[in-house]
A and B are shown apart, each in its own frame.
Chain A
């Protein structure tokens, strides 16, 4: 389980059982041809929705930003990256992301692990009913989750309006103040995301053989000790996976701050996250090279996290054997 995902590729011929070498080779030719034919639609989509846009973004980022005097752009080298890095908002957006991650990630991991352990300790109908309830908000992804939170955060009609007003906030503009944003966003993301991950981690817990628990109870371990000493160490790959996936997710935050800014009539910076900054480069400044450079920076960050997940989480590659 802790082994790296892609073990050194063994040559196909060595693993393939076949009566004679020649038959094996012809078989392999037709097998490979069949495989590529079957994968053709997927590979085409990978090209159109993955490879080409990335290459085109790299190409675009190396162009000069068009100006009114010089509408035709030419090769600009790394100028667009300089534009991004020296933009006064760039480091601020990264700081904002970290301020959200600081609140959200610990809350998320604690919630996922804690609730998954509780669900796992409750076999039968109560446990599965609770697991379902925790999953329900996950169905309200995207804008629906956002409108629900507007309902919660607008003191005028919120069921927790008395609390918000108790803190001296009587309008949604006051609630969505920049200082509160990390907590609000952490709440939104937790609410919509935790349920799915409880199911994933719960799946990991269900994979632990019963004998392990039997042995533990024979040794006189109580339920706390079982959870702490046995379950948590055994589901560590899933916890790491959840942490990294959510970390990557954090870097692309867009919808929530973008729309909060809209309902809070400008209480928040228009470009609060890196994705918003990239969007502004493209759609407000029409500076496509800078927008492309911004996406490449984000791509590199999430690619790094993605590589960590695939190679280090230990969750992928088991089925290779």
Chain B
């Protein structure tokens, strides 16, 4: 995951890039075999234990999902925890610093 969380005027702007194939389950490989569906289903962000972002994704989200959102109530120097889970049960959870603009 690549995350940029910038605090300015009480608002934290988050830009997030997750490396993930986001296979729709409808694409065929070079051998003509259907590539099984493999996509992120949920993305969550929390600040000091409180959820500040939650999204459900389907396979219509692009490969290597790019996403941006905003939330309030945090400041530069705080930590933002972001996690995702996919339809195969894989997941990732990491902490990122919120920086000043």
The finding on whether chains A and B are genuine partners in a shared complex, rather than unrelated, reads no
Query: A: which residues have CB within 8 A of B?
Result: none
Query: B: which residues have CB within 8 A of A?
Result: none
